[in-house]
Every structure is written in structure tokens, then in C-alpha cells.
């Protein structure tokens, strides 16, 4: 029971909140554009309970709580009546039909889901920065590890790092994240030493690091330590929103970079986690406090927004890709082409799900256990 409460329940609560935010983005833009929304569902499958509002939208919780959807009126030229008979839309129905809305409106409605996830990340981070603050440590080098990449590059204690790859750095945390994610990529460091600026070239070493939750990752290691313990900076509302926007952008770029590293082979694909890993991390993170849990929710929200923007049919990005083709051609793709696109997209999503789940089971030792049984 403790396992169910500590992991499954927390994971489902997080997922439900993020799915609700995503689908609410679609819902609000659809209503703003005059589209009738027939169903707003958290989860898939049979309805557990729900209600119908004044506008005719059915709000419901469904049996399989791993996602959700918004069903809009008018995805084809025909309408099915209560008796099952099909007929053409009336002029009034065309006014509230998704398919009959201008391309710009349809694009905005589809893009609103991922946009809502990014907005959630900014709002949540801004609240954290106002209420709890943001850790900020000096970029002055405290120690240089002997034999490290930093020593080979010529870094010395007391050097003040001002730029990394030509971009200003604000804190030691910025340096650490860039080095860890960059793996062994060459780095150009601009440092201040004795009142002068020097440009040093470093190539971090790549190590396997096990975090506090027991997960192993490949990261870059430069070999420097910071001075002191840093401070926690709290921001006023305007500054907090600005910093939250910057942090959301940084997390987005970092996520895309990690995905590209997996595609290119510089980062092992077995680091990709699925539902089981996310559920375990949700429980592990929740036990460390509310700040860590909200930060994890922010990261999940950004990932949910990004995944849905990938140009894969069945995802929001696939619909947006179809709309881009429609904008170029001046008319939508044919029904058969779209149907095949959705079939291929569904196959890709299912394959990714199976692969990620295999990784999860491998980390838990289940795959090896099964191999031992049959060999």
C-alpha cells in the first residue's frame, strides 16, 4: 500500500494536472475560435463519472488515467445523428465545426496544448522563485582537480568564469549544467584573471554518474569546484517571471540537445525512460520536498509540450505539419494520405513506448530475470 501511495498516486496526480493543463489549452482556444467542444476527458476508455455543462461539453474522468483528450465537433463533412444515420452539416453546424474554421484558427487550437505546458512551467517556476528563491553560486573557481580537463585547459583557482562558448554565465550552476549536458564537447571559457580576460579551451571528460535516486547517466566533468556555498535569491514578481522564462527556455534547449545526442549516438538510448521510470522518480522526488516536486512537474510539463510538438502524426506536431503542407499547397492533404500518416505515426509512438518500457524493466532487473529463466 505504501508503494501505491508513494509512487502510483503521486505519479497519477502529476500526470492528471499536466494533462489537464495541456487539454485546457486546446479547449480554451477552441472555444475562443467558436468551435463546439463535445468532450473534455481526463483518461481514456469507459467513463467513470462526469457531467455536461450548459454549452453541451461532456466533462469526464475515464478508466485509463494515462493521458486525455478534447473532442471537437466536425472532423468530417458528415454528422452522425442519434439514430446512427449520417447527414451533411447544416450551415449552423459549419459555424461551430473545427474542420471548417480557417487554417490559422485550427493551427492556434492545436498549438495551444503544448503552449499551455510551457506557460505552466513559467508560472510554476515564477512562484518558486518568489516563494523559495533560486540558488546562485559565484562563478569564481575555488579548486581545480589535479589531472582534470580544467587543469589541462589552464584554469586556476581564483579565475572568474564570465562566458561559456561565447555566452555569459550567471552562476556556477549554469556552468555545471552546460558541462554535464555537453558530454565531451569542446568548451571555450572566457575567464577574468588579475584584471585581464583570457580565453581557454577545454574538453570535459565523460563519466558515468549515479544520482541520489540511483539513476546512472553519462555526464561531462570539467574538474572544478566552486567557492563558498552560494546564496538563495528571491525575486519580485516581474523579475521572477523573466527568470522563469529564461529557465524554461534553458530546460527546453537542454531537453532537445539530449534527444539529439541519443539520435546521433553520443548519448546511450538506454537513458530514455518510460512511464515506470517517471512514476518511480515522481515518488522519489516527492519525498525530498515540495520544491523538488514542483521542479520535477515543470520538467515533465516541458517534456510533454516538446513531445507533442514533434512532427509525428497522432501528436499535435503531426497536425501542425499537415497544416504547414496545407498552407503551402493551398488545400489539405487527401484523406488517404492523412490516414496513412496517422497509421505510421501511431506505429512510431507505440514503438517508442515499448522501447522506453523495455529500458524501465531492464533497470529494474526484470529483463535479466526473464533471460535467466529461459536460458
> What confidence score (pLDDT) does residue 82 get?
63
User: What digits encode the pLDDT tens for the residues 134-185?
Assistant: 888 888 888 888 888 888 888 888 888 888 888 888 888 888 888 888 877 8
Q: At what angle do helices 237-264 and 103-131 cross, to 10 degrees?
A: 110
Pick the more confident residue, 18 or 277: 18
200 within a domain of the structure (yes/no): yes
Please, which pLDDT band fits residue 362 given cuts at 50, 70 and 90? low
pLDDT tens readout for residues 321-340: 999 998 998 888 887 887 88
pLDDT of residue 372: 44
Beta bridge partners of 42: 61, 68
Structural domains counted in the chain: 1
The per-residue pLDDT of the chain, averaged, comes to: 84
pLDDT tens per residue, range 279-306: 777 777 888 888 888 988 999 999 999 9
For 214-230, how does the pLDDT look when each residue is reduced to its tens digit (9 = 90+)? Answer: 667 778 888 888 876 66
| Reported confidence tier of residue 266, pLDDT bands at 50, 70, 90 | confident
266, part of any domain = no
Does pLDDT of 373 surpass 50? no
- Could you tell me the sign of the dihedral formed by the alpha carbons of 72, 333, 329, 305, in that order? positive
Instruction: Say which DSSP state 92 is in.
Output: H
DSSP state of 140: B
Instruction: Decide if 170 is inside a domain.
Output: yes
> Residue 137 phi/psi, 5° resolution?
-115, 150
d(CA 68, CA 308): 13
pLDDT at 370 over 50: no
The residue range of the domain holding 186 is: 134-233
Per-position b or e across 159-178, b if 16+ CB within 10 A of its CB: bebebbeeeebebbbbbbbb
Residue 277 in domain: no
Among the listed ranges 19-23, 97-101, 256-260, which one has the minimum average pLDDT value? 256-260
Q: What is the pLDDT of residue 194?
A: 85
Residue-level pLDDT at 314: 83
Q: Where are the alpha helices (DSSP H) in 100-236?
A: 103-131, 149-153, 172-182
CA-based nearest residue to 284, from 7, 93, 54, 68: 7
Q: Is residue 204 part of a domain?
A: yes
Q: Is 371's pLDDT higher than 70?
A: no
* pLDDT, tens only, 86-131: 677 788 888 989 988 999 999 999 999 999 999 999 999 999 999 9
- Does residue 346 sit within a domain? no
Query: Residue 32: its pLDDT value, please?
Result: 95
- Judged by DSSP in three states, 149 sits in helix
Percentage of the chain exceeding pLDDT 70: 88
**Residue 78 scores a pLDDT above 70:** no
Q: Is the pLDDT of residue 358 over 80?
A: no
* E strand spans, 154-275: 160-164, 167-168, 187-193, 196-202, 205-210, 216-221, 224-226, 231-233
250 pLDDT more than 60: yes
**Has residue 241 got a pLDDT over 90?**
yes
Average pLDDT over residues 338-343: 82
In a domain, 187, yes or no: yes
* Residue 85, pLDDT above cutoff 50: yes
Residue 369 banded pLDDT, cuts 50, 70, 90? very low
Query: pLDDT tens digits for 189-207?
Result: 888 888 888 888 888 888 8
Radius of gyration for the chain, computed over Cα atoms and rounded to the nearest angstrom: 25
As a whole number of angstroms, the distance between CA 366 and CA 231 comes to: 43
Across the range 65-88, mean pLDDT stands at 75
| CA atoms of 162 and 219, how far apart (whole Å) | 22
* Lowest-pLDDT range of 252-266, 284-298, 359-373: 359-373
CATH of the domain at 147: 2.30.42.10
Q: Is residue 334, in this structure, part of any structural domain at all?
A: no
Report, as an integer, the average pLDDT of 13-28.
Answer: 93
Q: Which residues are catalytic?
A: 23
Amino acid at each position: 500500500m505504501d508503494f501505491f501511495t508513494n509512487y502510483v498516486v503521486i505519479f497519477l496526480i502529476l500526470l492528471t494536472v499536466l494533462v489537464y493543463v495541456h487539454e485546457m489549452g486546446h479547449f480554451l482556444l477552441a472555444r475562443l475560435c467558436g468551435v463546439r467542444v463535445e468532450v473534455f476527458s481526463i483518461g481514456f476508455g469507459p467513463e467513470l463519472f462526469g457531467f455536461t455543462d450548459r454549452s453541451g461539453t461532456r466533462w469526464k474522468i475515464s478508466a485509463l488515467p494515462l493521458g486525455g483528450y478534447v473532442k471537437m465537433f466536425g472532423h468530417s463533412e458528415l454528422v452522425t445523428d442519434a439514430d446512427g444515420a449520417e447527414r451533411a452539416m447544416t450551415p449552423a453546424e459549419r459555424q461551430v465545426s473545427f474542420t471548417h474554421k480557417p487554417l490559422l484558427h485550427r493551427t492556434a487550437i492545436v498549438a495551444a496544448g503544448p503552449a499551455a505546458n510551457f506557460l505552466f512551467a513559467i508560472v510554476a517556476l515564477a512562484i518558486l522563485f518568489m516563494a523559495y528563491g533560486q540558488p546562485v553560486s559565484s562563478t569564481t573557481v575555488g579548486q581545480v582537480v589535479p589531472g582534470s580537463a580544467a587543469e589541462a585547459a589552464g584554469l586556476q583557482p581564483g579565475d572568474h568564469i564570465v562566458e561559456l562558448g561565447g555566452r555569459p554565465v550567471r552562476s556556477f550552476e549554469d556552468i555545471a549544467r552546460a558541462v554535464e549536458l555537453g558530454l565531451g564537447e569542446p568548451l571555450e571559457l572566457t575567464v577574468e584573471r588579475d584584471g585581464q580576460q583570457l580565453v581557454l579551451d577545454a574538453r570535459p571528460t565523460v563519466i558515468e554518474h549515479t544520482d541520489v535516486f540511483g539513476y546512472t547517466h553519462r555526464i561531462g566533468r570539467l574538474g572544478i569546484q566552486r567557492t563558498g556555498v552560494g546564496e538563495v535569491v528571491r525575486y519580485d514578481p516581474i523579475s521572477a517571471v523573466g527568470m522563469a522564462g529564461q529557465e524554461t527556455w534553458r530546460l527546453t534547449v537542454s531537453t532537445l540537445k539530449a534527444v539529439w545526442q541519443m539520435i546521433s549516438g553520443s548519448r546511450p538510448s538506454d537513458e530514455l525512460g518510460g512511464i515506470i521510470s517517471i512514476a518511480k522518480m515522481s515518488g522519489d522526488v516527492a519525498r525530498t520536498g515540495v520544491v523538488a516536486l514542483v521542479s520535477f512537474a515543470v520538467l515533465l510539463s516541458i517534456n510533454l509540450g516538446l513531445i507533442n510538438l514533434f512532427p509525428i502524426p497522432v501528436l499535435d506536431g503531426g497536425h501542425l505539419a499537415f497544416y504547414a503542407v496545407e498552407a503551402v499547397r493551398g488545400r489539405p492533404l487527401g484523406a488517404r494520405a492523412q490516414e496513412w500518416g496517422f497509421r505510421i505515426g501511431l506505429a512510431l509512438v507505440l514503438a517508442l513506448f515499448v522501447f522506453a518500457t523495455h529500458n524501465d524493466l531492464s533497470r529494474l532487473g526484470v529483463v535479466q530475470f526473464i533471460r535467466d529463466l529461459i536460458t
